[in-house]
Structure 1
């Protein structure tokens, strides 16, 4: 182990039931990590949402890695598979979901757009360790973005159809971008 690199994180394998139905890809095609928050109260509900088969291919929406508030890391989809987490970027990216309530349960209510829950120190430490490992294991990895950077669509709010709100706001204003960008050699993109 090199002294300036964090130790490899413990990653708990917890593959989604449909993981093998997701498109396979060479890791050399992956150049982007997208940071998300679950916008759900806990890992159990995030898992339930991830298991839902909503596409004709009998697959659903999910990130690759999930980091719980205690810093535990779970892999729902192997990085060699294309997960559905960011429209238009799935084929080239790895999705990392941090458990955080976000705007839950009223995601599109114009009166509930604040994302006040801070990320825990354990989550951020686990994220940094995971990013270091991914950077080492996937040499083509160059970029990082928040879901909010890549999906800026606005939709009518659930409480006032004449008012638009952002469809995605994660990881949100409490995400420690400066700490992450100082620690990892990835360039943040904002198309």
Structure 2
């Protein structure tokens, strides 16, 4: 039975979803918030469909939230999506459509993430997080991709400079607003 927080979720499975490893839902204790760092949902879908691994799969979150608040599920919760190094087995990935640093992701002169998240996106995210917390008994934590992947890499414009590989969801993400509305906490440390 759906919870009162359940948002409308559009199922839009990626073509390779059956090739993603299954997992027991009891091991899912973390949600990772991402931003697509691409111009729109169509570009994010195209990227998600790219096969990057010998297994016939690619990189994708489980859920995508467009600027108008539409929630799409690309990967079922009981499949392991490739969205954050070292945490995929235990995490749900939620991607918010946002340009981030597009198209100069690693250029040292373009590290600002200026696009604000829309109210519709944040409302849909809160509804989705509450729904997931109700459906997944072990779910306790929420983190940003930038919290979990702290690697610095050479800047594309000047290899003598280092930039953070992942900055999402970035400084415009309203952590206080989201944390006040959901039963999840930032992981310790």
Q: Tell me the residue number matched to 2:67.
A: 69
Say what the alpha-carbon RMSD is for the aligned residues. Answer: 1.2
Report if the CA contact (8 A) 2:5-2:128 is conserved. no
Q: Does 1:178 align with 2:176?
A: yes
Equivalenced residues, count: 188
Q: Tell me the residue number matched to 1:30.
A: 28
Name structure 2 gaps, 5 residues minimum.
Answer: none
Report if the CA contact (8 A) 1:14-1:76 is conserved. yes
Equivalent positions of 1:110-121 (< 5 A) are 110-121=108-119
- Look up the SS of the partner of 2:7 in the other structure: coil
Further displaced range: 5-14 or 139-148: 5-14
Q: Tell me the residue number matched to 1:136.
A: 134
Equivalent positions of 1:42-191 (< 5 A) are 42-189=40-187, 191=189
Report if the CA contact (8 A) 1:16-1:50 is conserved. yes
Are residues 64 and 118 of structure 1, via their aligned partners in 2, closer, same or farther at CA, if it must alter by over 3 Å? Answer: same
Name structure 1 gaps, 5 residues minimum.
Answer: none
State the shift of 1:6 in Å: 5.2
State the shift of 1:187 in Å: 1.2
- Look up the SS of the partner of 2:178 in the other structure: helix
CA distance in 1, matches of 2:108, 2:35: 19
State the shift of 1:7 in Å: 3.6
After superposing on structure 2, the runs of 4+ consecutive aligned residues of structure 1 that deviate more than 2 Å are: none
State the shift of 1:185 in Å: 1.1
